Structure formats: structure tokens, C-alpha cells
Amino acid sequence: MSTRTVAVLAGLGASAFWGGLYPAIKVIMEVLPPFVLLTVRLTVALLVLWPFVWWRGGIHWDRRSWFEVLMVGAMGFGLTLGIQFIGTHLSTASNGALVTTATPAFVVLFGAWLLHERLSRAQAVALIVATVGVLLVIDPRQARLDAMFLGNLALLLGALGWALYSVLVRALTRRLDTLQVSWGAMLGGLPVVLPLALWQSGQVRWESISWGTVAGIFYVALGATAAAMFLWNYAFAHLESGTAALTFFAQPVVGVLVGVLWLGDAVTWPFVLGGALIGVGLYLAAVAPQPVLQKGDEHARA
């Protein structure tokens, strides 16, 4: 299996983990406020990933590299995820699914601006086909985009921030190890969310914590953070930004599937057709001719 194929699968795996976040967070939010959950999420992920980082020799960066990774992490895991939490709280889940699907388009724009990556005709077609598929899956007619303006604006800013984080990670992994960057970026996000978590600590409902809550926390921390962030960063380390971003479209599909299997939601024809179009878009992106690597890309490491 080629590195390119593995990278596409890695991006799909990350998006699949994130697709299951909504039901898990719905259960956890009953006992843990947003920034407490985000702090626990990052802390557990850091503890779990550190043995793997240590096994691969630890981290021996210079001051500049440490500064760059920590700042990118503060922006991605601190500001961006915090803004997404606020947006989700003020808006609705359907609005969240709709607005955050703007991320791949933003990734393409940032990739062209910061990394000078060109979008090929095949990649452009793939992006359009997959976007149409996502719109069918989430059915924007059900989203109330005329209400809760501040929440929707926060979600849009979150999508913009995550796109910028993803492109910056691709730039960092041209010369730094992907696993190390994943760990360092999460470490950079912790100081941003920790003060807000301490402020919200009085809202924790300790008496309501159950085994289901604990299981949900471990899913969020291990699957949707530790594993997903490494997989996402791996995809961006080995694929051009536009192709890697397309794998994000698996998130709403998995989210709807979880709703069908767990919450008993109905399967509709737009979901089936949309899922098929997303699959076609991902296939077109995966088989598209790979552009010539920019200087430094050959040093990207898993």
C-alpha cells in the first residue's frame, strides 16, 4: 500500500473519530462544562501519546521549533477548539455540521497562499463533488442560519482556524516528526484552555458521573484526540493540503451514521446519495496525479 493511500486512510480515520463526537459530547456535557472537558481531553491525550514519543527518541527541538509548534497548538487546540465549543453552545448541532464543512475550502485557500500549492483540475472537481455530497447529507434546509448569529459566526471562525492549523501543520511536518508535532501542538493548547477550565470547575456535577460518562471521556480523549490528531497530521504531512482536506467530509457522514445506529434516526435518500458523492470525490482526489514536491517536502517524516 502506497504512502499516499495510507495518508488518505489516515485522514478518513481522523474524520471518522470526529464524526462520533456529537453523541459522546452530548452525554458528557451533562456533567462536565466545555472547557473542563477540553482540558481533560488534551491532558489524557498528552499522557497517552508521550510513551510513543519517548520510544521514538523524545523531542530534541531548538527554541525556534518549540516556539512554532506551541504557537500553532495554542491557535489550533486552544483558540480554535474553544471557539468551536462556544459556537456549538450558542448555535445548534445541525448548524455546526453545516458551517464547519467550510473547512476544506479554507484549507485549499490557505494551502495556495502559505504553501504555494496549486489545485489541479481533478482536485477541484473532487472538491466540488464532495461538497455537494456533504450538503445532501447534512441537508442545510434543516439548519437555521438566520438565527443565533453569534454562534454561527463562532463556528465559521472555528472552521477558518482549523483550516489554518492544518496547513501550518503541513508546513511544520516538512522538517519535524509528525507524532512529535501532534504532541507538542496539544501541549501548546493546554495553557489556553486551562484557565477557563478552572473558572468552570465549579459547574462539574460530580454526583452524576457514570461509567458511561467515563467511557465517553476516554473515547473523546483517546480516539477523537490522541489517535485522530495524529492521523490528521499524518495525512497533511504526506498529502497536498487540498487532497488531505477532502477527507474531512467523512465527518458528517459518520455523524449521521452514528445517529442512525445509536439514536434511531432515519436513513434518507439524500444521505445515501450524498455519501456516494463524497466517496466519488475522495476517489478522484486519491487517484489524481501527485504534484511535484516543494523544496523540503522530501523531509516530511511519519
Residue 256: name the closest of 245, 247, 267, 244 by CA.
267
CA distances from 278 to 12, 38, 54, 79, 128 (A): 11, 30, 38, 29, 10
Mean pLDDT for the chain overall:
79
Say which amino acid occupies 292: V
Q: CA 54, 11, 291, 119 torsion: positive or negative? A: negative
Torsion of CA 227, 168, 294, 10, to 10 degrees: 20
Task: Tell me the H-state helices in the chain.
Answer: 3-19, 21-28, 34-55, 63-73, 81-90, 93-100, 103-114, 121-138, 149-172, 178-200, 211-218, 228-238, 241-246, 250-263, 269-287
Nearest-angstrom CA–CA distance, 102 and 121: 20
Asked whether the beta carbons of 217 and 28 are under 8 A apart, the reply is: yes
Instruction: Tell me which long-range contacts 211-217 makes (C-beta under 8 A, separation of at least 24).
Output: 212/27, 213/27, 213/28, 213/30, 213/31, 213/32, 216/24, 216/25, 216/27, 216/28, 217/28, 217/32, 217/37, 217/40, 217/41, 217/44
> What's the rounded Cα separation, in Å, for the pair 298 and 238?
9
Residue 301: predicted pLDDT: 40
Task: Put residue 95 in one of left, alpha, beta given phi > 0 → left and psi -120 to 50 → alpha.
Answer: alpha
Across the range 128-157, mean pLDDT stands at 68
Contact indicator for 166, 244 with CB cutoff of 8 Å = yes
pLDDT tens-place string over residues 42-74: 999 999 999 999 998 899 999 999 999 999 999
Mean pLDDT for the stretch of residues 104-130: 76
How many domains does the chain divide into? 1
Q: Can you tell me the distance from the alpha carbon of 172 to that of 76, in angstroms, rounded to the nearest whole number?
A: 14
Give the pTM: 0.77
pLDDT digits (tens, 9 = 90+) for 254-289: 776 776 676 565 666 766 777 677 677 766 765 665
Tally of CB atoms within 10 A around 202 = 8
User: Does 105 or 222 have the greater pLDDT score?
Assistant: 222
Determine the pLDDT at residue 300.
Answer: 39
Tens-digit pLDDT profile for residues 168-189: 998 999 899 999 999 999 999 9
* Whole-number Å distance between alpha carbons of 86 and 98: 16
Backbone φ, ψ for residue 177 (5° rounding): -65, 135
pLDDT the model gives residue 295: 40
Q: Which domain holds residue 93?
A: 3-299
